[in-house]
């Protein structure tokens, strides 16, 4: 996997620290937003109080939540 710094050096052989730092800052903010969205989704399924254990169990994996039609219980798997 290519790092941000390696990508920056492809575009600017002498480097471009401002671009690299901007991308890294944006990636951190997007990661925080992803965490907030995950929590909102889990909370909408009524799993807010169990969200820490679900997120911990799915670290590094996608959490997929589905509900049974007709108001059934939510099911989360990874």
| Domain locations along the chain | 4-77
The pLDDT score that the predictor gives to residue 7 is: 83
Look at residue 13 and tell me whether its pLDDT is greater than 90: no
The pLDDT score that the predictor gives to residue 61 is: 52
Average pLDDT value for residue range 1-15: 82
Q: What is the pTM of this model?
A: 0.55
Q: What is the pLDDT of residues 27-39, one digit of tens each?
A: 999 999 999 998 8
Percent pLDDT > 90 in the chain is: 17
Q: What is the pLDDT of residues 68-78, one digit of tens each?
A: 444 444 444 54
Cβ proximity of 53 and 29 under 8 Å: no
The pLDDT score that the predictor gives to residue 37 is: 93
């Amino acid at each position: 996997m290519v790092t941000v710094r390696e990508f920056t050096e492809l575009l600017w052989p002498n480097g471009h620290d401002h671009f690299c730092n901007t991308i890294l800052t944006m990636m951190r903010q997007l990661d925080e937003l992803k965490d907030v969205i995950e929590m909102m989704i889990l909370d909408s399924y009524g799993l807010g109080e169990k969200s820490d254990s679900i997120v911990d169990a799915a670290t590094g994996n996608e959490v997929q939540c589905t509900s049974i039609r007709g108001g059934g219980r939510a099911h989360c798997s990874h």
